[in-house]
């Protein structure tokens, strides 16, 4: 028995397990030593993802965190500065990696999820000079994890590109869930791709692959990225087994994200009357704000768990529900029989 057999698991879209079709693709993958550049399945995946985003090259990495950190090291030299929001994954959940590995100084704008004001960002940029830390890059998150799966509008991204160009700084996208933004807003991936100097994109979240992310960028950047990845211990050998899962996910699991969004909308609709929705739900994440309730996030999670539903605790009074490949309509029915009842007494 696994967690997935016992519970409706709404903690994260990282808990998915490979489907039968994906496992078959993995089992049949052609492989070689990728550190020698000889794994045909990894090479095919990298070419495919680069083309999807209209960039010259891409590099397969073991995790989204490593893909982000490789990109940041490409864009920001030690002692120089990255700007991002206070809730960004890169400064919240990557355990200080930008500072620890890249010597990067990070400065944040207040957490506003996907509702970024490009003028606020423009006002934070510090130019070169001996007296201040020069800003070299801006990072945004599409969709925004702690921002409840919010989607940054294309117009905002275009304005941010203008801000970056004006200041001569780079723009990075933590696109762990960029697929969800593409499905929710109908913006072609290539349209997103052309706005950024680098992107990191994850195969192991909503797309359902067990492992893997890619850094996307120009050929010269990705060449340097290969060295940084190796330095960080991320050079993998017969990684084609994993890349095959990623290729399968790209072919089979992008369009179906609309189902996950619809399931998240059902959850949101059922909990909304209890005043707990932190943001409007656009994709597969439902952020809960319990500041006006007697029950805190831990207590809510414990009560839900006791009735077979797992949710994430993101802070003392913030919690999160996530839909994904492993959550069926029947699972949503089960969650809906539990969560509103608990919230009614919260």
Ligand X SMILES: Cc1ncc(COP(=O)(O)O)c(C=O)c1O
User: What are the residues binding ligand X (CB under 6 A)?
Assistant: 14, 63-65, 68, 89, 141, 145, 174, 176, 202, 204, 213
Rank residues 134 and 147 by Cβ distance to ligand X and give the closer one. 147
* Closest separation in Å from C-beta 275 to ligand X: 26
Tell me the HSE value of 67 on the side-chain side, using a 13 A CA sphere.
Answer: 27
* Closest separation in Å from C-beta 144 to ligand X: 7
Using CB atoms, what's the residue nearest to ligand X?
A: 64
Q: How far apart are the C-alpha atoms of 325 and 312, rounded to whole Å?
A: 17
Q: How far apart are the C-alpha atoms of 258 and 187, rounded to whole Å?
A: 14
Residues 116 and 158 sit within 8 Å (Cβ to Cβ): no
Beta strand 8-9 with 309-310: parallel, antiparallel or unpaired?
A: parallel
* Closest separation in Å from C-beta 161 to ligand X: 20
Q: Tokens 């920001």 belong to which residue? A: 76
* Closest separation in Å from C-beta 167 to ligand X: 24
**Closest C-alpha to 307, from 6, 12, 3, 5:** 6
Q: Tokens 């850094």 belong to which residue? A: 215
* Closest separation in Å from C-beta 221 to ligand X: 19
* Closest separation in Å from C-beta 12 to ligand X: 7
Rank residues 134 and 200 by Cβ distance to ligand X and give the closer one. 200
91-124 burial, b for 16+ CB within 10 Å, e for fewer?
A: bbebeebbeebbebbbebbeeebbebebeebbeb
Give first-to-last CA distance, the chain, whole Å: 32
* Closest separation in Å from C-beta 137 to ligand X: 16
Rank residues 16 and 68 by Cβ distance to ligand X and give the closer one. 68
Rank residues 34 and 141 by Cβ distance to ligand X and give the closer one. 141
Tell me the HSE value of 133 on the side-chain side, using a 13 A CA sphere.
Answer: 16
Rank residues 95 and 330 by Cβ distance to ligand X and give the closer one. 95
Q: Quote the tokens at residue 160.
A: 């941010």
Residues 104 and 75 sit within 8 Å (Cβ to Cβ): no
Rank residues 76 and 303 by Cβ distance to ligand X and give the closer one. 76
Q: How far apart are the C-alpha atoms of 302 and 150, rounded to whole Å?
A: 26
Rank residues 16 and 65 by Cβ distance to ligand X and give the closer one. 65
* Closest separation in Å from C-beta 181 to ligand X: 11
Rank residues 281 and 303 by Cβ distance to ligand X and give the closer one. 281
């Amino acid at each position: 028995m696994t967690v997935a057999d016992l519970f409706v698991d709404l903690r994260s879209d990282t808990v998915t397990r490979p489907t039968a079709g994906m496992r078959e693709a993995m089992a049949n993958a052609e492989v070689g030593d990728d550190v020698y550049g000889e794994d045909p399945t990894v090479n095919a995946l990298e070419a495919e993802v680069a083309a999807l985003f209209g960039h010259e090259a891409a590099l397969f990495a073991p995790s989204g965190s490593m893909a982000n950190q490789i990109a940041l090291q490409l864009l920001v030299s030690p002692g120089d500065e990255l700007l991002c929001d206070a809730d960004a994954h890169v400064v919240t959940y990557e355990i200080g990696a930008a500072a620890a590995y890249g010597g990067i100084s990070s400065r944040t704008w207040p957490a506003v999820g996907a509702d970024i004001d490009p003028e606020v960002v423009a006002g934070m940029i510090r130019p070169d000079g001996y007296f201040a830390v020069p800003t070299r890059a801006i990072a945004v998150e599409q969709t925004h994890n702690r921002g409840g799966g919010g989607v940054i509008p294309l117009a905002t991204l275009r304005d941010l590109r203008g801000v970056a160009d004006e200041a001569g700084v780079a723009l990075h996208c933590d696109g762990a869930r960029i697929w969800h933004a593409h499905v929710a807003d109908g913006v072609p991936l290539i349209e997103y791709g052309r706005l950024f100097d680098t992107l990191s994109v994850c195969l192991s979240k909503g797309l359902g692959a067990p492992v893997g992310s890619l850094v996307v960028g120009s050929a010269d950047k990705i060449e340097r990225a290969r060295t940084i990845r190796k330095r960080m211990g991320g050079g993998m050998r017969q990684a084609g087994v994993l890349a095959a899962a990623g290729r399968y996910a790209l072919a089979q699991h992008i369009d179906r994200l609309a189902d996950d969004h619809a399931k998240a909308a059902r959850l949101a609709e059922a909990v909304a009357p209890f005043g707990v929705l932190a943001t409007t739900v656009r994709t597969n994440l439902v952020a809960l704000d319990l500041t006006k309730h007697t029950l805190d996030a831990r207590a809510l999670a414990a009560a839900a768990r006791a009735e077979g539903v797992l949710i994430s605790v993101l802070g003392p009074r913030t919690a999160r529900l996530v839909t994904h490949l492993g959550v069926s309509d029947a699972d949503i029915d089960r969650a809906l029989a539990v969560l509103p009842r608990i919230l009614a007494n919260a």
